[in-house]
Every structure is written in structure tokens, then in C-alpha cells.
Structure 1
Amino acid sequence: MEEQLREETWKPLWNFDLTDGRDELNLAEFPLAAIANRVPQGQKTFSFEDQVWDEGAKQKVNRKLTISGSDQFGLPTARDNDVLLALIHLTKCRNSFREPTVHFTRYELVKFLKWDDGGKSYRRLEHSLNVLASVTLFYNRAWWDLKGKSWRNRTFHILESVDLRGRESVGAGEQPLSSLTWNGTIFASFAANYIKKLNLEVYFQLDGAAARQAYRFLDKRFYHKRRWEFDIRVFACEHLGLSRSYDTGQLKRKLEPAFQELERIHFIKPMSRHERFVKRGPGNWIVIAEKSEKQIAVAEEKGLGRSAAKLVERGVTRTVAEEIATEFSAGQIERQIAAFDQLPKEKRLAIKNGGGYLVRAIRADYSVSPASKLEAKEVLKPREIQLTVEDRKRESRRAYWKGLSVSEKAAIEKLAFEHADSFVLSGWERALESGSEALTTGYRNTIIDQELDRMLCVS
């Protein structure tokens, strides 16, 4: 196996796209390492815990992760966390998570991590690999089983085994390859695709360990919505790893540099100290993080329009979001998104499928109240009596189309494309070129609907 790998063209890790990294979603939720590069002497364990709403069980779940270090190698530190992400990227680049065993050279990992090419760095890497192979993770109802759709108890090491070979020097690609094997629990999660993209180029630009952990955690959370409010102690101590002995003032001082770094890279929206940290009552402080407009624009550049990107952030699948953005006006979509965002927190949490609920709200054109603090049933409820103009159009089209024969439908479709306005027609052509079946179908339906409206004199 080693001879075969050496004979192939070896593409070192740093030559792969750093912006296309990966992160396992369970590992992004709680810190796996101390926030510093050194653990207090004598400390053998640390733990993190929080409470989340389990939509399947319809109840709150107390989650806890306990991390126990070995006597010889101790607990993971911030640098070990960096090595872990490098190993995930290594596995993605080498075999796309098809095999738990991955071959590598120590030199490529040291260079990828931008460590000095000296003996100290190689010893540091060896120590990190030993830490990841010896540390034990105890997930108490905190490991999400994608297949079972539930929070599970899991106990495991991160790496099952490590086989390190002799040190490689610059350009020495013919020396024996090292290898590692992932633990079965983590690799099963990789294989189940319970992973997300992580821009490692951005991650390694961040100086502070708190900023790096906040980037991972918020990058996961921003997938669901663009603005989050957290209890300051839960966010800082349980998800970033700051000391529980800090008072609120100390936590704010420790968090500020991390947020400033994330603002500097345009990851989160800039806020003043008073906007970032808000007092909700005696001893009750929250911290607010909102995805920056630049990040929204990046999503748009990757093929999603602004409205579709906002839908994806709130749990709608990309395909459905593209269909909705094509079928309905931006104003109608934005109106329902705003109403959804204004729902009280407990009401949003009680909705089993927020993305599905939002899609239904847009399709049915739920009535939107201007009051932002009303109960969910008062903010959004179906219009059961008065149909909107768009409702009347849609019903007329559906009734007429249903009564047509196959040949009649084909003739109308031909006319529709002949009469289509240039803007929609160019969108359909771009969709064809992109290969997106959902987007192509969405534009085709829009073109046909416009022709039906002309035929039926619906305005």
C-alpha cells in the first residue's frame, strides 16, 4: 500500500483548496480543547453543558460533554484543535471520507499548519496526535445521531490508532508514509455526511483561540438563521471554553477581542459594545451575533439570490429555496421571513420544521400582522376568507391548465417561450447552463404562468 501511494503523483495537503475545508457538526458544537495552549497543572478533565430543544421528543434536553485526558499526554489544547481540523481536511482531500485510515507525511501537516520546520514542531505534532488518540470524550445526550434523529450517549477516543514514520525533510517525498485511523463513531458521522463546509483559510487567519472556536460554532449556527442571541455565560463558558470563574464583566472583556477579529474578517456584523452585550434583567446578560451582509453576498455569488439565501439560512433546502424565489415575488418572501423572525423564541422552537413552516407561509401567503410581539397564531394565520390577487391568479391558472390536453399544453408552452420577456428567458437559459433542474423548472413554470395570465386576462 505504501509503495503504491509513493508511486502515484503525491499532492501535498497545502496544495488543496483551504476554503473548501470540512468540520464535523458535533465537534463544532462544544470545544474539545482548552482555550489556551497550556492546561493548568493537575487538571485531568473538563466539561461543557447546555440545554437545547429536541424537536423530535418535544422537550428540552440537557447536553453534556466531558473530556478526560490520559496521565501521559493530558488534555487537548488550542493547538491540538488546529491539528484536528487539519486531519479532517486531510481525510476529505485524500479519500473524501470513504476510508477511516489516511496516509500522510508529517512534513505536509507541519507546513499546512504553518509551523516552523524544526524539531520542536515535529515533536509538537507527535504529541498532538498522541493526545487525540488517548483523550476520551463522554457525550451525555450530546452526540447527534443523524440516522436515528436523536441525541445519544457516546464514549470514544478521537483517533483509533496512529502510525508515525521517520521525519521527512523538505522535498523528501520518498520516505515511508505515516497513517492514522479515525475512531468508528466519528468516522460514521463523516460517512453519514454530518459535516459542513469550513473555510480553513479564514480559520487560520484568526489569531485567538476564542475567535477560532467562535468562528466554528457560529458558522454552524448561521446555517439556520443569521441572528443569534445567547446567554453570555452559556456562549462564553460552554461553547467557547472560557473559565466559569469569570464574572460577567470579565467575560465581556475576554469576548471582545474575539468578536473584533470576526468583525475584521467580515464574518459578523459590526456592533458597539452596548449592542453586542445586552442586559435583560438582574444578572441576566445576553450576547448577540449577526451574520454580516458580506457573507450573505457571498452566498448570492455562489448561485443563490438574496431571498433564496435567506430562506436557506432559516432551514429551507437549497432546491426548495430556489423554487420559491422563482415562483414568488421578493416582497412576499421578505414579508414572511420578517414575520417568522418576529415570532417569540419559544414559538419558533416549538415549530418542528421551521423551514417547512416558512415555505407553507409563503405559498399560502399567510396574513402578516405589523405587531412583532403577538402570539404565533396572531402573527401568521392563513387567509381563509379573502384571497389575494396572486391567489386568484394561481387558482385561475391551475383550473384552466388542469382541463387542457397534452397537445394543448405543449402548444401553450411553445407560445409562452415565444412571448416570454427577456429577463425571465435569460434566467431560464442561465438555469439550463447551471444544470439545476429545480431552478430550470421554476423559470419554465414562471414563463408558462405569464402566458396563462395573458390568455386569461388575469391582472
Structure 2
Amino acid sequence: MSDIRIAHRQIPVKSRGRDQLNLIDFPIAGLQYQQPKDSEGKRPDELVCVIDSYDRELDKVVPRKLTRRTASRHGFPTPLEDEVLVGLLTLTRLKNNFTLPRIEFRNAELFDLMGWPHNGSSTTRLGIALDRLTGLTLKYENSWTTEDGSFEKEFTTGILESYNFAKQVQGRRSGSSVFSWVQWASEVFADIQRGNVKELNTDEYFSLQLPISRRIYRFLDKQLVQNAHFEMELTTFAGHIGLSETKHIGKIKERLASAFAELEQIPSFCLPATVEQRFIKRGPGDWLLIAHRSAATESQAVGTSPTVRTAVGTEGAASLVCDFYTAWNGATYHRPTSRELDQAQSIIDTFGIDAASAVLPLVVKEMKHLFPEAKAFGATMRYWGDAHKTYRKRQEQAKQRACEHEENLQASKKNEYEVRRRETLRQRWESLSESRREQIRVRVRSNCSGTVRQFLDQKKYKDPLVMLACLECLNADDADLASL
């Protein structure tokens, strides 16, 4: 059994996966498995994606641009490379929690994570994917976010700096003993270490069949973290997803509708919507796309017969009816009828007594707006479903705010600890002799990125990347001594 399967059991699904935020906003890979062709039927070496976006700081629309360049012999990334990219990000999280840019892994571990079969075809596909991801250069113009949330005017990076792809070609196949490794490009890895990553439910992501569904899942999963409601101009959304080959609104809607039909099958991701609710026309050629984050467990519809009735008893049902009349017309005493008790019990069975009591004020508020002439509790029955959704949405938002607050506190504590730790290491470094420092630099040089190696060769010993690598090596030495 592979290590990754063991990790799946130990780490919750939601917490396991990771996605790099700057690699989400623009399509790194195409939506087709075939390579793109230019007007002459040849493979291009460059693809350009431009998305006009409103810049709040400049108070105007600016073009955000990504230029993808690659050697035509390798080709541009396809949906398979998108899967491998997400798999490698998650594998790095599981292997070393993004402390080192290089990870070693068995090919079978990556196949398990992505749900690929353990066969020669998967091995061949992985080799092609590593070639394409290593050979790809990305040039961002006004589209790579910095640490403070602004955009770099121009920023060029790769994804993978290097790799070693191990595959057994002789003798009995024993994938468990053969290791591959990849090394992230230093710019991307530095961005990851700055915290520019997010959680990704890899089980949900890899369960999707359509490449466009997986692309939308990553993009919307980022957008719906802060706000359960999402809307964007339709052609702009299509650009972010990678549907740039057509401006035909009907074709864009058709492609997106099939993807959302698959996404709606994930209970915790996206609320179902009709075509009319999903795509809103604002004017000629001007359309909005609308999406809402779904609660993980939506209640049963009011009026259905629950399989198991909750033993709340008549007292809870009577209290709910009496509370309604008090809120509706100020009545301080009401004797519920048997029909009202049955109706209230049905609501309690569906939502639970605590949720029903919490939702009641929302029901009353909605009824006073839409049905002010109502006189009996029975009139509430049609309003509980929507009111409960509003209640759950507010709960999720409050929970999200609480989680964000807690995450900010933990991040602040972690940052404070990291500052103290690095300062201690720096003081330890200053106390070392030059010969000892040189020994550490030699060790760092044997297992570092090309950028750090270049700086070491140029004797730029005070460069932040070089110092960070040396301090982490010193820390590892101290840990080894402490374990003896």
C-alpha cells in the first residue's frame, strides 16, 4: 500500500489538498486534449490570454495578460497536466508541508492521489506531463498578485524547475521501490511559502469527469471562500476558465451549463440553478454568470414525510405555534389546533426544534412583506424552506468569519514563532566560524534550486534566499544532533 493512501486516512479530505492561488486565475492548461494549431495548421510556441478587469486602485479597466510559451515538441499543458499540477501541489503538502521545493515520491503515490490506474499508460502520461510542466514559461502582465495584494507589472516564471522521472524498464515491476522527484520553480515556491495557497478538496476535484468542470471547480472554490454569492460578466468568466476560442454567447452558455450540471452533483459546492437563474441578461451581448456556495447538508423540503420523526413531542410544536402568533400579531395566548400542531411538528421533524425556533423570525419577516393579510399558522408552510436557506447562509458566513479570525490568530502566532526561530538561527549562524559556514554552504549547494546555486557560485552569501537555505540547513543539523 502506498504512503499516500495512508495519508488519506490520516488527513481530512478538505485539509489535505492545496492549490496555488496565482495559478488559478488564468488557464495554465487548455480544456482540450488535442494540441492547439495556428492558422497554418502548425503547433504554436506561444499562447496569449487577455482579460479586461476593473482595478479599484486605478479606478479603471485594465488588461490582465498571461502569455504561455513552450517548445512545440513538448506542447502546451492539457487537462491531464492540470491534474498532475494539482496532484503535485497536494503531494508536496503531504510530504513536507511546503518546507522544501523538492519532493521525492513513488509514481504509484501520485496515481493513487489522482485516481489514475497503475499501468504503463499512466506512466507514459505522467512522463509527458512532467515534460510539459517543466518546459512551460508563464509571463504575467498586471496579473500576478504580490504579497500585499497588488499586481506585478511584469512577472515571468516557470512551474517546475527540474524533475527526475523514474520508471522500471527491466525485470519484475516493483513500483514501490522506484522514486521520482520534482523541484518547483523558485518563484512559484517562494509564492507558496508566502502563504499564497488555499485548501482544495481533492476527492471532489478528481471525481469530476469534464475538464471544464474541474477548471470551474478550482476557480469558483477560490472565489466562494470569502462570499457565498458570486457573479461575473459572462465572457470575463469564460476567459478565466479558458473558453477563449469563441465569443459566441450561446456556445459559452452551452459549455458552462454542462459543467455546472456536473458541479451541482457535489452537495457542498454549488447550489443548483436553472439556466435562467445561472445566466442573467443585462443588455445586448451583456450577460452575468451567477453562482452560490451550497451548504453541505441542505434540509428536506417542507411537506415531505420524513423517514424518522424526531421525538420532540407536542410541547415543542405548541411552543412554535404560540411563538408565531406572538411575533405575528402580539397575541400572548393561543390554543393551537390539532392541524397546527401537525404542521409545526412537520417543521420540527424537517429542521429540528432549535433551527425552527431560530428561523421563525425570518419566516415572519418574509410573510409581513409578501403575505401581510395572513391570519393563521398554516400560511407559514410555504416560507420555511427559503427562510431556512437564509438562516443556514448566515450561519455559514458567521462560521466562516469565526474560522478566518481563528486562522488569522494562528497565522499570526506562527509568523511570530517563525520570526523568533529564524532570529535564533541567525544568531547561531553569526557565532559559527567561517569554515563551518562554508561546510553548510557546500551542503546547501548539493540540494538547492538553480537560483540559490547560482547565487552561491557568485558568492552572494547575504542574499535572502541563500541565507534562508543555510539557516534551514543549520536547523536540520541541530535537530539531528538533538536526536542522537
Please indicate the TM-score interval, normalised by the length of the shorter structure.
0.5 to 0.7
Asked if the contact 1:141/1:151 (under 8 Å) is kept, the reply is yes
Asked if the contact 1:225/1:313 (under 8 Å) is kept, the reply is no
Deviations along 1:392-419, one digit per CA (max 9) or x if unpaired, are xxxxxxxxxxxxxxxxxxxxxxxxxxxx
Asked if the contact 1:51/1:62 (under 8 Å) is kept, the reply is yes
Q: Following TM superposition, by how much is the alpha carbon of 1:55 offset from its aligned partner in structure 2, in angstroms?
A: 4.8
Deviations along 1:325-382, one digit per CA (max 9) or x if unpaired, are xxxxxxxxxxxxxxxxxxxxxxxxxxxxxxxxxxxxxxxxxxxxxxxxxxxxxxxxxx
Asked if the contact 2:36/2:44 (under 8 Å) is kept, the reply is yes
Equivalences for residues 248-327 of structure 1 within 5 A: 248-266=249-267, 267-294=269-296, 307=394, 309-311=396-398, 317-319=404-406
Change (3 A) 1:314 1:280: farther
**TM-score scaled to structure 2, two decimals?**
0.58
Asked if the contact 1:53/1:60 (under 8 Å) is kept, the reply is yes
Q: Residue 405 of structure 2 aligns to which amino acid in structure 1?
A: R
Give 2:95's aligned residue.
94
Asked if the contact 1:106/1:167 (under 8 Å) is kept, the reply is no
Is 1:39 the equivalent of 2:42?
Answer: no
Q: Following TM superposition, by how much is the alpha carbon of 1:63 offset from its aligned partner in structure 2, in angstroms?
A: 1.3
- Measure, in 2, the Cα distance between the counterparts of 1:269 and 1:196: 21
Q: Following TM superposition, by how much is the alpha carbon of 1:225 offset from its aligned partner in structure 2, in angstroms?
A: 1.1
Asked if the contact 1:14/1:108 (under 8 Å) is kept, the reply is no
Q: Residue 99 of structure 1 aligns to which amino acid in structure 2?
A: L
Equivalences for residues 122-201 of structure 1 within 5 A: 122-147=123-148, 149-167=150-168, 172-175=175-178, 177-201=179-203
- Measure, in 2, the Cα distance between the counterparts of 1:122 and 1:161: 18
Change (3 A) 1:130 1:13: farther
Change (3 A) 1:185 1:320: closer
Change (3 A) 1:312 1:190: farther
- SS at structure 2 position matched to 1:37: coil
Which runs of 5 or more structure 2 residues have no equivalent in the other structure? 38-42, 300-391, 410-484
Give 2:49's aligned residue.
48
- Measure, in 2, the Cα distance between the counterparts of 1:185 and 1:216: 21
Equivalences for residues 439-454 of structure 1 within 5 A: none
Change (3 A) 1:158 1:93: same
Q: Residue 186 of structure 2 aligns to which amino acid in structure 1?
A: G
Deviations along 1:247-298, one digit per CA (max 9) or x if unpaired, are 111111111111111111121111111111111011111111111133799x
**TM-score scaled to structure 1, two decimals?**
0.61
- Measure, in 2, the Cα distance between the counterparts of 1:259 and 1:88: 25
Change (3 A) 1:153 1:196: same
- SS at structure 2 position matched to 1:102: strand
Q: Following TM superposition, by how much is the alpha carbon of 1:111 offset from its aligned partner in structure 2, in angstroms?
A: 3.2
Change (3 A) 1:127 1:315: farther
Which runs of 5 or more structure 1 residues have no equivalent in the other structure? 1-8, 298-304, 323-459
Change (3 A) 1:57 1:233: closer
Change (3 A) 1:265 1:73: same
Equivalences for residues 3-18 of structure 1 within 5 A: 11-12=3-4, 15-16=7-8, 17=11, 18=13
Change (3 A) 1:181 1:286: same
- Measure, in 1, the Cα distance between the counterparts of 2:118 and 2:260: 32
Give 2:429's aligned residue.
none
Deviations along 1:111-169, one digit per CA (max 9) or x if unpaired, are 33222322222111001001000011111111111157444421121100011223397
Deviations along 1:235-257, one digit per CA (max 9) or x if unpaired, are 12x11111432411111111111
Change (3 A) 1:152 1:243: closer
Change (3 A) 1:312 1:12: closer
- SS at structure 1 position matched to 2:177: coil
- Measure, in 1, the Cα distance between the counterparts of 2:51 and 2:175: 48
Asked if the contact 1:14/1:112 (under 8 Å) is kept, the reply is no
- Measure, in 2, the Cα distance between the counterparts of 1:315 and 1:69: 44
Deviations along 1:411-446, one digit per CA (max 9) or x if unpaired, are xxxxxxxxxxxxxxxxxxxxxxxxxxxxxxxxxxxx
Give 2:70's aligned residue.
69
Give 1:415's aligned residue.
none
Taking only the aligned residue pairs, the percentage that are identical comes to 31
Give 1:379's aligned residue.
none
Is 1:26 the equivalent of 2:18?
Answer: no
Equivalences for residues 217-256 of structure 1 within 5 A: 217-236=219-238, 238-256=239-257
Q: Residue 310 of structure 1 aligns to which amino acid in structure 2?
A: Q
Q: CA RMSD in A?
A: 3.1
- Measure, in 2, the Cα distance between the counterparts of 1:178 and 1:220: 30
Give 1:206's aligned residue.
208
- SS at structure 1 position matched to 2:140: strand
- SS at structure 1 position matched to 2:134: helix
- Measure, in 1, the Cα distance between the counterparts of 2:137 and 2:32: 19
